[in-house]
Homo-oligomer: A and B are copies of this chain.
Amino acid sequence: MISTTLLKLHGKPGEKTYSEVTMVTIKQVSEKAGVSSATVSRVINDTGTVKQKTRELVMQAMAELGYRHNVVAASLASNKTHTIGYVVPELHGSFFGAMMGGTEQALRQAKKHMLIATGHSDAQIEKEQIDALLSRRCDALILHVEAVSDEYLVSLVHQGVDLVVVNRFIEEIGDNCISLDNVKGGYLATRHLLDIGHTQIAYIAGSLFKADGKKRLTGHQQALADMGVEYTDNLTYEGNFQAKSGTEGIRALVARGAKFTAVACANDEMASGAMIALRELGRRMPEDVSVIGFDNVDFASYLSPGLTTIDYPVQKIGSMAAHWVLERVYGHSHHEYQHILSPRLILRGSTSSPE
């Protein structure tokens, strides 16, 4: 319906939209340059062999006509879109932005683009979005999905879909997963508290039905065991990863008469909530009680005292995912990646030796 010839343009004059008005084709370029369209394609894609002389001729013609490559047509013909589909739960907050930033940086150099969709932690929506991205023929998918089952993802991989699952580990397709060692993170946090002399350590856990919540707690327990400190449920409170549950956690622990000189939290939000409760109770930090978080979110350093925490290398996870795709899907070599990343301790003012 929309054509190259201006004659066929519809709509009132002055209202021609971009795609209607300019559509110089490879054909026109080839005619102007006196070569075949195949040759023009070759210079555009830098494939095959083209004499320097002809290449210049073509470039000249493209410049003069104001040619713009039509990637859609190229994708159809070549069956490659150079596009990565990306599904994340949400766009707001700093976590996914950082992750996508890591991916984008690696992908930009390779001239790949990202098509972004949100899954809202809803299985139905997640599937629809994956479907839509597949319909758009993305060359690969990067998925941070939370509601969809392991089996579903496994089946996609078995169908031959090139995808990498981030921040989630599925044994059966471990090679397609890139995730953080959460047990180690939990271990590192509590180990730090133990190392500086604490023995009475409360723990505010994340939702235990979530893999991350459970693993971080496991790490906490392992650290205690390693250092010969007995673990007790009395010192543990199960929160839900929200700031408020950190506040409630401290109140609940105090209410049940738990004695502690330090508290480890399964994420920074809960740690900040815990700090609010501790301040209300008149406990100084870190003098009376040390607090450690997990994730190292942006605001951790803005809290006072600055929050000691475990760094979640989220940007790195994003870039690892990109490297996986570059190496596995596009066959670019020299793109190394690991499947399990290690967290590390970030020391700030919220922890110190007990007095």
Contacts and interface: CB of A to CB of B under 8 A. Distances in A.
Contacts of A299: 298-299, 302
Interface of A: 1-2, 16-22, 68-73, 75-76, 78-79, 81, 83, 90-94, 96-98, 100-101, 104, 108, 111, 113-118, 131-132, 134-137, 139, 159-162, 243, 272, 279, 298-299, 302-304, 315, 329
A101 B94 contact: no
Interface centre among A93, A139, A302 (most CB of B within 10 A): A302
A46 to B, nearest CB: 15
A273 to B, nearest CB: 10
Contacts of A118: 101, 104, 108
* Top-6 shortest CB links A-B: A299-B299, A91-B101, A97-B97, A18-B160, A92-B101, A18-B161
Contacts of A81: 72
Nearest to A125: B108
A104 B100 CA distance: 15
A294 to B, nearest CB: 16
Interface centre among A73, A98, A299 (most CB of B within 10 A): A299
Contact of A17 (B20, B90, B108, B162): B162
B135 A68 contact: yes
Interface centre among A2, A68, A113 (most CB of B within 10 A): A113
A90 B108 CA distance: 12
Contact of A83 (B78, B115, B134, B279): B115
Nearest to A69: B135
Given A17-B162, A72-B72, A279-B304, 14 more contacts: A1-B79, A17-B329, A18-B160, A20-B160, A22-B159, A22-B160, A68-B131, A72-B76, A72-B137, A93-B97, A94-B94, A94-B97, A97-B97, A104-B118
A108 B87 CA distance: 13
A335 B237 CA distance: 47
A302 B279 CA distance: 13
29 contacts: A2-B79, A16-B160, A17-B329, A18-B161, A19-B79, A19-B139, A22-B160, A68-B134, A68-B135, A69-B135, A70-B135, A71-B137, A72-B76, A72-B137, A73-B76, A83-B115, A91-B101, A91-B104, A92-B101, A93-B97, A100-B116, A104-B116, A108-B118, A114-B115, A115-B116, A243-B302, A298-B298, A302-B302, A303-B303
A183 B279 CA distance: 37
B83 A91 contact: no
A139 B19 CA distance: 8
A135 B71 contact: yes
